[in-house]
A and B are shown apart, each in its own frame.
Chain A
Amino acid sequence: MKLNGEKIVKYGLITVAFSALASLLLIAGFILKEGLPFMLKVGVRDFLLASDWDPQAGKFGIYPMIVASLYVAFGAMLIGAPLGVAGAIFLNEFVPKPVMRVVKPTIELLAGIPSVVFGFLGVMVLAPFIRQNMGGPGLSVLAAAVILGIMVLPTVISISSDAIGAVPNSYREGALALGATRWQSVYMVTIKAAWSGIIASIILAMGRALGETMAVIMVAGNTVKIPHSVTDPVRTLTANIALEMANATGMAREALFATGVVLFVVIMILNGIALSTIKTKVRRK
């Protein structure tokens, strides 16, 4: 009878996994259905590489926005990843457990603050600061990157911290027994063991950075131009979708869904790169 129960559970879980997959496919299908026809009509190259975005005049080039999204996301990761991973390592390895148990949930608190609050703070505090000290209008790549970097910190810290925490103590003890200092055991053993979890956190965080809309709209300036410095205003792909969607009809609306397709492809490429990095690291071992 127990074996029958096992079969039920197995099929139950298969159903669950498939329904999860089904809902994910639903979304993917939705975006592609709305956006792909447009891209085929206008031509992928013209869409991606043209710099003229003027829906009313029939121009749909999104190149400046692709550049903007990439700059802003990478800037955010430059800030969020090192700070986040460093924080995770410090909290897990160099801080007494009771302190960690209080600090970690507090940092995860950041994840619950709505993006609009971050955006608003960005408008009220960060943008004027940048404008006064670095020039430009304040609403810029830098403002967006900083705000996004802060926003992805909890994701990076939580997931990395869990990965590091899951490394069995025997690994650490082994290293210490061989005469390593704490730090040596961390970077030679623990981090390597937790590496896939750390990378997972950075990938998830980068995905979030690329997809963030509200906070970015409020602090990036939303000008459709390729930025020449970090203090120039930019419009990311997501901001473009949010700003134009309500008014878009016909071709303009399809163009915005096509932008969604582009985002999807960009994320797939990034994930692919990250995945192959893990594979080569694992193989080298």
Chain B
Amino acid sequence: MRISPKIAQVLAVFLLGASTLLTLAILVFIIVFVLSKGLPGVNFEFLFSSPKDMGRAGGIFPTLVGTVLLPLMALALAVPLGVGTAVYLTEYTRETRFTRILRFGTDCLAGIPSIIFGLFGFIFFVVTLKMGWCLLSGGLTLAIMVLPTIIRTSEEATRAVPNSYREVSFSLGATRWETVLKVVLPNALPGIVTGVMLGIGRCIGETAVVIFTAGSSLRMPTSAFDSVRTMSVHFYILAREGISNEKAYATAAVLVISVLLVNLAAYGMMHHFIAKRSK
């Protein structure tokens, strides 16, 4: 019995739409749950004062700072390395065994549990290099952790740029690097940004790695050698030790809102950039 294409289309749209709605419903449920339990506890004081009384009172300002600095440090390393590697793989080499091995290795490393990165960071940076629990140890470890994701997504993005774009650029006399910088990368930007967003998300959301390498000090960091606590770690400790469920939810609410703002900002920047170019 053959289904007419029109009916098949209706069915398909229905199923696809239902799946998307389900995904959105789950997401909305989680966000509403966290915000409804957490927002009542969030106010100016909460955001800008330090935790008091083991986190049962006061705010989360040092953790806000930690949550900003740590991913920043990780990305400052991972993005140039990752995008550079991706560009090298797509633009400067042919498909050889070496590139296939590199890609395979990258995929595998994307799957290594964060706890192993945490242990590695602890043993290598904190103990062997004697850096102690600090921002630098955390940033370096997180950079290595998100590197595979950024390499993979940047590579997919640069590979997807049609060759015709490159050919036009070459025919106009541009060098390979100029082509990369002015043609390939701008067109691959959405994909690269996705990878970076996922990387930021992972950095902000990580707890095991951060605790093992950056520690969980509640004090305000004054140098890259100070220990920091991120909001995820703070939530983890508050919920885990049963110190204060309200403060935990409030921290989670701030986390969710921050991630939303970061995502929106990145997309805004990107669309502004694309709009400007297509004028």
Binding site for B on A (CB under 8 A): 2-3, 5-6, 9-10, 12-14, 16-17, 19-21, 23-24, 26-28, 30-31, 82-84, 86-87, 89-91, 94, 101, 103, 105-118, 120-121, 125, 150, 153-155, 157-159, 162-163, 165-166, 168, 180-184, 186-187, 196-197, 200, 203-204, 206-208, 210-214, 237-238, 241-242, 245, 260, 263-264, 267-268, 270-272, 275
1/0 per residue, CB under 8 A from A, across B184-225: the answer is 000000110010011011101111100000000000000000
Instruction: Mark each residue of chain B from 143 to 154: 1 if its CB lies under 8 Å from any CB of chain A, else 0.
Output: 110011101110
Task: Count residues of chain B with CB under 8 A from any CB of chain A.
Answer: 93
In the complex, the answer to whether A260 meets B113 with C-beta atoms within 8 Å is yes
Would you give the shortest CB distance from B79 to chain A, in whole angstroms?
Answer: 11
Q: Among B13, B33, B92, which residue has its beta carbon within 8 angstroms of that of A125?
A: B33
Residues on A with beta carbons closer than 8 Å to the beta carbon of B194 = 108, 158-159, 162
Which residues of chain A have C-beta atoms less than 8 A from B6's C-beta?
Answer: 181
The smallest C-beta distance from A271 to any residue of chain B, in angstroms, reads 5
B9 at the binding interface (Cβ < 8 Å) = yes
Pair A211/B113 contact, Cβ less than 8 Å: yes
| Cβ of B40 under 8 Å from chain A | no
Inter-chain CA distance A127–B107, complex, in Å, is 32
Whole-angstrom distance between the alpha carbons of A213 and B252 in the complex? 19
Please tell me if the beta carbons of A90 and B19 are within 8 angstroms of each other in the complex.
yes
Q: Are B149's CB and A204's CB within 8 A?
A: yes
- Knowing A197-B156, A212-B113, the reply to whether A27 touches B120 (Cβ < 8 A) is yes
Q: Establish whether residues B113 and A114, one from each chain, have CB atoms under 8 Å apart when the complex forms.
A: no
With A30-B120, A163-B156, A242-B208 already in contact, the answer to whether A13 and B88 are too (CB < 8 A) is yes
B81: contacting residue among A20, A162, A187, A272, CB under 8 A? A20
- Asked whether B232 lies within 8 Å of A116 as measured between CB atoms, the reply is yes
Q: Do A83 and B33 touch across chains, with their CB atoms under 8 A apart?
A: no
Besides the contacts A27-B112, A121-B34, what 18 more A-B pairs have beta carbons closer than 8 Å?
Answer: A16-B88, A17-B84, A17-B85, A17-B102, A20-B147, A23-B143, A24-B148, A27-B116, A31-B116, A90-B16, A106-B27, A109-B259, A112-B259, A112-B260, A115-B206, A115-B207, A158-B197, A182-B9
Task: Say whether B39 faces chain A, with CB atoms less than 8 Å apart.
Answer: no
